Structure 1
Amino acid sequence: MSSAASSSKMLQLPLSKEDLTRINAHLRTLTPEDILAWAVESLPGLYQTTAFGLTGLVAIDMLSKITSSPPPLIFLDTLYHFQETYELVEEVRQRYDVPIHIYTPQGCATVADFEKKFGGRLWETNEDVYDFAVKVEPARRAYDALGVKAIITGRRATQGGDRASLQPLEVDETGLLKLNPLFEWTFPFVEWYIEENNVPRNKLLDQGYRSVGDWHSTSKVGEGQSERAGRWAGKEKTECGLHRNFFTMQEQLEKASEFPLSVSSPVSIRA
């Protein structure tokens, strides 16, 4: 473990803007492995949220080599993932000794349950409600139930869109800490690590996909296109809702939605 990590003390929350600026200046000098080692030593209530994309898998593999007790994983099962994604979840479970907490939309264990509650093809009829129901609400429920105060993400600046200005450590509008350990890595570097370390990967990546989400909003990527061009193709959308402003999204949906939307209180990370 790096000296930076071993000498760190658990952070006291909430962080001031000055603290965050100082921490990011330090983290920018570290490798992803050292950023993760620092996080294990320094961030309270640390979990990794993952849809088992390549960058998240790199972090899982790195953490397995850094600590014998890696942060538990949170997988938000939208119920509309590809079968290959569910197979990968089981492969990761077998390969790495790390707990996986799986959360589905509230009150729904199957697609039939979800469509009985919201109707069919909700991602077309009300995309914001869909994002809230399958990602935002389950995430907040997970954070409440598990006592999550900080999460590790697989976001990278080179993915573009809203991610272009990523910092190593961010604090969202609810006070949740978000660590982006591979924020500076490019897609080829991520692929190199996966191959070099024989990390499990989604079989769809061998079929022309580069970023895999729900089956209805994921398509293959053409030559020369960005890695996330196959997510919500033809739309300006770049995020599923999990990294959008929680309060703004909740307020808009409460005003406009015909569906009942409930969510746990935003996570509190005051010490």
Structure 2
Amino acid sequence: RHITSSEPFARLRLEQMMLMLGCGVAGFQLASFAPRSAMLVPHQPRALLPTMGMDISELIEDAKKSRLDHLEAQAMDALKVAVDQFENVVFPNAMIVGDCVITHLLGKIGALESGKAKVMVVDTYHLFDETMPFLADVEAKYNFEAEVFGPVGLTSARNLSPETFAEFDKKYGANLWKEDIEQYDKVCKVEPFQRGLKTLGADIMINGRRRDHGAERAYIDIAEIAPIGGGLAKLNPLAYWTLEDCFDYAAANGVPLHPSVERGYPSQGDAKDTVPVPDPDGLSGVTGEAGAVRWVNGEWFGDKAIWLDYGSERRGRFVNLVNKDGSKKTECGIHVAGAEKTFDRDLWDNSENVITLGSPDEVKALKESGKESVVVVYAPWCQFCQAMEDEYTKLADATGLPVYKFRGDEEREFVSAEMNTKSFPTINKISVAGDAIKYESEDRSVEAMAAFATSA
């Protein structure tokens, strides 16, 4: 509603507000029927504002500086508690903007050079070309060496050559991400992530989650204690920051950011499914010239709000990727519940009801035995395999059939050719004739699996 000069109460409140800002009402005139955005009309030229004790640009800059100083102190205090109170502090670093800020803060408290905090990087073999060279620059700047984990069975953790691309393609297939995105996530992201945490013995994980990422993170706090029964404590030092705070802090403190921000990419994931924002085809949800919004040497070019709006940081990620249920992909699998869980044992390792097949030859012998059985092809790091552990244990009693397990992530070519396996877990009924009949349902309750095993 409009404020008019005939409303004494509104005028009084306005006068009070102006006095709080350090200037009188003489410098402003009230518009009787102006729109809200034009209620306060400057009466003096901008150049004269400082003489009245009010410089808008200085006010904004002072407020930003005070905010960043507070956020920095808060984050550094939290990081100091982590490195002082925990034995194995691990920071999974994807080199997105927030992660670059955390790297700087860890360097500032001496936790990187001292080795009190370990930086862990997952190399999916599909990252931007600049990512690994950028990591090397960051390592040199802050005097540390990251622990890099890639897909199982590849010789180079840091994929920097055509030879290692060929090695990946031979083992996993060049189009794995197109054929089965969930399996790609398991192989290239979730398993290396879990293996990294386990290898480094992590008891607290630092990550860059913030409340402004979206509704699912809107109420996270700066720290999350380890759950009862075990698990990782988590530190979210940027929980109360915004993406704009991260860029402002980087500009003010000389924090190096991933080179792709200069080409219009607000977030850095896999190059195969990440586009600049905006992009010419509108795949990010914003149509426009690539690089129209960018951040170069601490300065914004273009409409920064396109990047900074609530929940918009990852709008150029996961382009054209679809989950099995047909929904649009918004997470890579690392940040879903339970993905950070690590295992010090194999699945069904103490089960009397599930028999281990230790080699491809043993699988072949079972198929040639002329006896019916059930075999699950699994990977111990796979969260879906983990989830079915209890139900599968009950299957032998429910069916009267011998029930087996075979670890497939170490024999991918064999299980693909002999056991119908493109993803984990894959359950097969072995017939008297030696055929492997695949269980196609994702219902892994003992009732559903037993119904399949006794009717197939």
TM-score normalised over the length of structure 2 = 0.47
Residue 153 of structure 2 is aligned to residue 107 of structure 1? yes
Quote the offset at 1:178 in angstroms: 2.0
Task: Name which of 191, 211, 217 aligns with 2:273.
Answer: 217
Residue 168 of structure 2 is aligned to residue 91 of structure 1? no
* Greater Cα shift, 191-200 or 221-230: 221-230
Number of equivalences: 233
CA distance in 1, matches of 2:210, 2:120: 19
Quote the offset at 1:92 in angstroms: 0.4
CA distance in 2, matches of 1:160, 1:125: 29
* Greater Cα shift, 155-164 or 133-142: 155-164
Residue 160 of structure 2 is aligned to residue 120 of structure 1? no
Spell out the pairing of 1:7-86 with structure 2 (5 A cutoff).
Answer: 31-67=74-110, 69=114, 70-86=116-132
TM-score normalised over the length of structure 1 = 0.77
CA distance in 1, matches of 2:314, 2:230: 27
Kindly indicate whether the alpha-carbon contact (under 8 Å) linking 1:118 and 1:259 is maintained by their aligned counterparts in 2: no
Kindly indicate whether the alpha-carbon contact (under 8 Å) linking 2:273 and 2:320 is maintained by their aligned counterparts in 1: no
Residue 151 of structure 1: SS of its match in structure 2? strand
Task: Name which of 189, 197, 207 aligns with 1:153.
Answer: 207
Q: Residue 187 of structure 2 aligns with which residue?
A: 133
Kindly indicate whether the alpha-carbon contact (under 8 Å) linking 1:254 and 1:261 is maintained by their aligned counterparts in 2: no
Q: Residue 190 of structure 1 aligns with which residue?
A: 246
Residue 314 of structure 2 is aligned to residue 258 of structure 1? no
Residue 228 of structure 1: SS of its match in structure 2? coil
CA distance in 2, matches of 1:63, 1:158: 22
CA distance in 1, matches of 2:221, 2:263: 32
Greater radius of gyration (CA): 2
CA distance in 1, matches of 2:97, 2:243: 9
Quote the offset at 1:81 in angstroms: 0.8
CA distance in 1, matches of 2:167, 2:217: 33
Query: 1:251 is aligned with what amino acid?
Result: F
| Cα root mean square deviation, aligned | 2.7
Gaps of 5+ in 2: 1-70, 157-163, 279-302, 322-327, 342-381, 389-419, 426-456
Q: In structure 2, do the counterparts of structure 1 residues 44 and 114 end up closer, same or farther at CA, with 3 Å as the change threshold?
A: same
CA distance in 2, matches of 1:120, 1:149: 35
Higher strand share: 2
Q: Residue 165 of structure 1 aligns with which residue?
A: 219
Kindly indicate whether the alpha-carbon contact (under 8 Å) linking 2:183 and 2:423 is maintained by their aligned counterparts in 1: no
Quote the offset at 1:215 in angstroms: 0.4
Greater relative contact order (CA < 8 Å, ≥ 6 in sequence): 1
CA distance in 2, matches of 1:185, 1:57: 14
Residue 137 of structure 2: SS of its match in structure 1? helix
Task: Name which of 316, 335, 338 aligns with 1:243.
Answer: 335
Quote the offset at 1:219 in angstroms: 0.8
